[in-house]
């Protein structure tokens, strides 16, 4: 059971920055919200499947610097940890001192790959950043297909042992074969959302095909793969909610748009919508606020695009697309993997005025720092 979170503010287009307004303090996403993905990772009230291991197996956040400064380069900055995120002093301090308009964050419960910084999401390659929530079923059987399909550059890119890093390498290889150099300068508007979406859909196609070829016997009866992928070039964002099944739901995915993501009382956040602007867009495996109306659920087997602060949703029309509107997918499989997260109602809290750590009787790490 992993979790991920994407934040994009309009000012990510660096020419348009209104200084001090749009980039968000990382603490507002990561450490302060009662329902942040870090607090989710230890607070079991917020957990759906309590039989699964807690997300204590690694954490990563990647962000693009808000300044238009050539010295800072195009690529994102990544901070990873293999100790639990909720107790990481460096993270707590950086989050209070760092702002960004484009943030990817990921909390990991290892299902494959040992605990190592090389296995932490998000993965980056020059200006690109990638993360995965889910699993490629029987990846071990397919690993050689991945290895032999790719150009050397991407084969050698892989440092760790996870299906997710290989999936990113495959995405890079696919982008390359579509005529784009993933290591090259992305241009003022990046690689373009159509190109990235196209490469993502092809990546899923490869995984799907190899999965069939490598199945032992009755492929239809094997566990489906859960392919919620997110990728960005610092401009557009592409996120999939996908499962290789016609009858099961994919891992949950939600988004929220508004004019500002605000803390209305300590630890409690909501999406403010003062007008119809979408200055702020959040995409998350689990809702970050308790406001049901803040969140829209992305349908299973569709692909979400953020382009110029507009959210687009396209269905992924393949053999796993469910055309019969009367059929509803089961959430059993995704739930068994701890990957279903409905939009929750606010819960009565006894210490509602305390931020989460203090409420637990814990000392906040960064108080005097």
Q: Which stretch binds a copy of itself (CB under 8 A): 4-12, 111-119, 230-238, 291-299?
A: 111-119
Could you say whether residue 213 binds a copy of itself (CB under 8 A)?
Answer: no
Site for a copy of itself in 34-53 (CB under 8 A): 42-45, 47, 50-53
- 260 binds a copy of itself, rule: CB under 8 A: no
- Interacting positions 125-164 with a copy of itself (CB under 8 A): 125-126, 140, 143-144, 147-148, 152, 155-161
Work out whether 245 is an interface residue with a copy of itself (CB under 8 A). no
Selected from 13, 96, 263, 358, the binder of a copy of itself by CB under 8 A is: 96
Q: How far is the CB of 323 from a copy of itself (least distance, A)?
A: 31
Copy the structure tokens of residue 115: 């605990």
Q: Tell me: does residue 364 bind a copy of itself (CB under 8 A).
A: no
Catalytic-residue membership of 80 = no
Q: Which of 29, 37, 80, 227 binds a copy of itself (CB under 8 A)?
A: 80
Q: Does 354 bind a copy of itself (CB under 8 A)?
A: no
CA–CA distance, 37 with 105 (Å, rounded to integer): 8
Of 2, 80, 120, 214, the catalytic one is: 2
In the list 13, 118, 318, 342, the residue contacting a copy of itself (rule: CB under 8 A) is 118
* Binding piece for a copy of itself, criterion CB under 8 A, among 109-117, 235-243, 274-282, 301-309: 109-117
């Amino acid at each position: 059971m992993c979790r991920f979170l994407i934040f994009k503010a309009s000012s990510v287009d660096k020419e348009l920055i209104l200084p001090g307004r749009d980039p968000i303090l990382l603490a507002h996403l990561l450490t302060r919200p009662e329902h942040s993905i870090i607090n989710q990772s230890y607070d079991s009230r917020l957990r759906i499947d309590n039989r699964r291991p807690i997300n204590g197996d690694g954490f990563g956040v990647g962000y693009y610097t808000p300044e238009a400064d050539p010295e800072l380069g195009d690529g994102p900055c990544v901070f990873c940890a293999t100790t639990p995120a909720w107790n990481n002093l460096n993270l707590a301090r950086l989050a209070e001192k760092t702002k960004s308009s484009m943030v990817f964050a990921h909390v990991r419960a290892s299902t494959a790959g040992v605990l190592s910084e090389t296995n932490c999401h998000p993965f980056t390659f020059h200006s690109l950043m990638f993360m995965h929530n889910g699993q490629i079923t029987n990846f071990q059987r397919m690993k050689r297909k991945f290895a032999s399909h790719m150009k050397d550059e991407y084969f050698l890119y892989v440092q760790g042992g996870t299906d997710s890093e290989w999936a990113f390498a495959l995405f890079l290889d696919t982008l390359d074969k579509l005529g784009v150099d993933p290591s090259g300068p992305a241009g003022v508007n990046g690689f373009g959302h159509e190109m990235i979406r196209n490469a993502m859909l092809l990546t899923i196609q490869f995984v799907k095909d190899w999965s069939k070829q490598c199945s032992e016997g009755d492929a239809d009866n094997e566990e489906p793969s859960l392919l919620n992928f997110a990728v960005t070039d610092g401009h557009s964002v592409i996120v999939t909610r996908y499962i290789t099944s016609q009858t099961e739901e994919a891992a949950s995915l939600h988004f929220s748009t508004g004019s500002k993501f605000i803390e209305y009382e300590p630890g409690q956040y909501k999406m403010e919508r003062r007008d119809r602007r979408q200055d702020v867009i959040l995409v998350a495996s689990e809702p970050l606020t308790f406001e049901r109306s803040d969140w829209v659920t992305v349908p299973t087997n569709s692909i979400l695009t953020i382009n110029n602060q507009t959210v687009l949703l396209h269905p992924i029309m393949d053999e796993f697309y469910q055309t019969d509107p009367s059929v509803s997918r089961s959430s059993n499989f995704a739930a068994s993997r701890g990957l279903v997260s409905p939009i929750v109602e606010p819960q009565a809290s006894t210490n509602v005025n305390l931020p989460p750590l203090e409420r637990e009787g814990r000392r906040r790490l960064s108080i005097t720092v």
